[in-house]
Amino acid sequence: MKTNKAAKELLERYLLGVKRELSGKERADITAEIESYLYDVLAERYAEDHETTEKEMEAVLMEMGSPRKVAAQYRPQRALIGSRIFPVYSLVMRIVVAVVIGAVTLSFIISSIVGQPANAGLNVLEWLGSIWSGALSAFGMVTIVFAIIERKSEERALEEIEDLQTLNISDLPQLPEEQKEVNRIGKSSEVLLGIIGLTFFTYMRGSSGYVPLRSALDNQVHMLPFLTGSFVRLIPFILVLTGLDLARNITLLVQNRHTALTNWWHIGTECANGVLLGFLISSLPLFTLEGLNEVLGLENVLHIQSIANSGMAIALGLGIASSVVDVIKEIVRELKHPTI
């Protein structure tokens, strides 16, 4: 049976979606079996010399249902959560557990930084215990809820579940070669900005937040305070996160594609950036221009300083909101359509 390029690409996207819903050593064999079955269906409907079009392939796939529905037929039968709702249960479970672990970890980081110094080993054990108890509680609650749904809906169709089992072509994952290609120009720019950021903050840390300025009044170079002490204390964290982001961008440039590692790497650094932005807000004001007033005698410097710090507070708040939205979207996307 012949298929044109568009039809074959659609089939490959569908099979990729099925493969991502499966696990274990047999998923390649199961995917091959489904592919063979689909070609058998096409052979029954069309002549041997017929070239299958994208529309014809789409019609066959729509009859099959979503990759999640097809994959569920090959999973072992589960007594507590039936195969009908298990895909939804699995998706919700992964999202809830990830959110719980992230929340516990962020709480641990904040308490470790702003709290009193304590034994590092005990802190790590407390963190691991909190993650275990939180994840276990989330697992139990979600399981109980879905077990009730399973028992109460055995004879009825759930519209939400039926929607998940219906194939939506636009929801099929793109093929890796098309979806995962890295924008080399954009990433190169980010690498350059990362290097500039590392250089700047390394200098500011070494100078304790002071910058050199030559005065036209006495032609002398003065070291003027620019960053406040509370900002300088956070510079080591800024350097670590900038270095991690720089390393990720370099990794993407080298391998020229996104992977599960680089995607979760980005999620982790975004979470850490959100925490850092929160600490920066609590450390306001971050900039000081009093030195300009003393050396150059500029008027309205303190007013400009107040405006600059107010603007920074607004920008940091928007940055936190953006980080939260991006992290949630990326976690949901990675759990629903994990990168191979």
Contact 179, 333 (CB under 8 A): no
The whole-number pLDDT of residue 70 equals: 81
Choice between 166 and 188, residue whose per-residue pLDDT is larger: 188
With residue 210 as reference, give the H or E element that holds it. Answer: strand 210-214
Least confident of 10-24, 72-86, 278-292: 72-86
Which amino acid appears at position 218 of this protein? D
Which amino acid appears at position 305 of this protein? Q
Residue 197's alpha-carbon distances to 191, 218, 234, 245, in angstroms, are 10, 32, 14, 11
Choice between 198 and 291, residue whose per-residue pLDDT is larger: 198
> Mean pLDDT highest for which of 28-42, 82-96, 256-270, 281-295?
28-42
The whole-number pLDDT of residue 242 equals: 87
- Percent of the chain exceeding pLDDT 70 equals 73
The whole-number pLDDT of residue 266 equals: 85
What is the chain's mean pLDDT, rounded? 76
Which amino acid appears at position 120 of this protein? A
Contacts of 51 (CB under 8 A, 6+ apart): 2, 3, 4
Least confident of 46-50, 219-223, 326-330: 219-223
CA pair distance 26, 38, nearest whole angstrom: 19
> pLDDT digit string (tens) for 117-161?
555 566 667 777 888 888 888 888 888 877 776 666 554 444 445
CA pair distance 320, 271, nearest whole angstrom: 9
Q: pTM score, two decimals?
A: 0.50
pLDDT, average across residues 265-285: 85
CA pair distance 106, 131, nearest whole angstrom: 11
pLDDT, average across residues 198-225: 80
